[in-house]
Structure 1
Amino acid sequence: MIKDRGNIKWASMMMPEHLDGLKEYKKGFTEQPRELTEWELEEIQQTIDQAYSRQLDIKLEMWQDNKIIQWTGTIKTINFNTNELILDTLLKTKRIPIQNIQSAQLEADYYD
């Protein structure tokens, strides 16, 4: 099987100025969080309410530092004054801004 190394295979043929130029070019592309529709926002709200009221494990995907980060845990409290969720994970307690949440899913064991 042929192993393709992607752009690495061309790096030896490029001049240092070209490599620096490519790095600068890639820095210009910063991802933006996608706009959620009203239905998606409503579904996220219902999932969070259900997980909080029943104290179920939930998987949240949030936008942070130009990338999607996933957290799994139990919602301890919802602070409406600061618009934050307090998520109790296995290792620590995490504050998650509500406006950064991109999706929410209950863990698979609880759908039955």
Structure 2
Amino acid sequence: MAYFDEMMDTPDLSKLRDRGSKKWVAMMLPEHLKLVREYIADQKKSPRPELDEWDIDIIQENIQISMQRNVEVEIKTWKDGAFTYSVGKLTWVDLKNRVIEVEDVFKSFVIRLDEIVDVTVLE
């Protein structure tokens, strides 16, 4: 009976070495792993903010101010679920093609007007 009393005591958890998530990888197919990675990537994406006419007017006004004063602006853009920030001076605006050209210290680049979420004048 003493043997069974020893067995009923609490087990020593320090001897337990769990392999964590490694033990589940062997059961997952490459298709499952691909779907899990895509799901995690989709969860990190942020939705495109909806701009009303007030927001668009503020963006347009800040673009005009930066062009007139020749000052730097910070442009916040949204593309594929991620926000990016660019800082530089606006060199020209092409309304026909709906793009603006921004020149920073190192290079000049083009940003589509449809991707712009916010423009801040830096003075």
With structure 1 as the length reference, what TM-score do the two structures score? 0.76
3-state DSSP class of the match of 1:50?
helix
Q: Residues of 2 paired with 1:70 and 1:28: CA distance?
A: 21
Letter in 2 for 1:67: A
SS in 2 for 1:82: coil
Q: CA deviation at 1:50?
A: 0.3
Report the structure, 1 or 2, having the larger helix content: 2
> Which letter maps to 1:90?
V
Report the counterpart of residue 25 of structure 1 in structure 2.
39
Aligned-residue offset at 1:26? 1.5
2:93 aligned to which of 63, 67, 78: 78
Aligned twin of 1:43: 58
Structure 1 unaligned residues grouped into runs of 5+ = 1-11
Q: CA RMSD in A?
A: 2.1
Residue 64 of structure 2 aligns to a residue in which SS?
Answer: helix
Q: How does 1:83-102 map to 2 (within 5 A)?
A: 83-102=98-117
Q: Which one has the largest radius of gyration?
A: 2
Partner residue, 1:9? none
- The percent identity for this pair of structures is 16
Specify the code of the residue in structure 1 equivalent to 2:101: I
Question: TM-score by structure 2 length?
Answer: 0.70
The structure-2 alpha-carbon separation of the partners of 1:72 and 1:28, relative to structure 1 and needing over 3 Å to count, comes to closer
Please state if 1:53 is matched with 2:68.
yes
AA aligned opposite 1:26: I
Report the 3-state secondary structure (helix = DSSP H, G, I; strand = E; otherwise coil) of the residue aligned with 1:13.
coil
Count of aligned pairs between the two proteins:
97
Q: Look up the SS of the partner of 1:68 in the other structure.
A: strand
Deviation of the 1:98 alpha carbon = 0.7
Q: Cα gap change, 1:79/1:42 in structure 2, threshold over 3 Å: closer, same or farther?
A: same
Whole-angstrom distance in 2 between the partners of 1:106 and 1:55: 10
Identify unmatched segments of 5+ residues in structure 2. Answer: 1-18
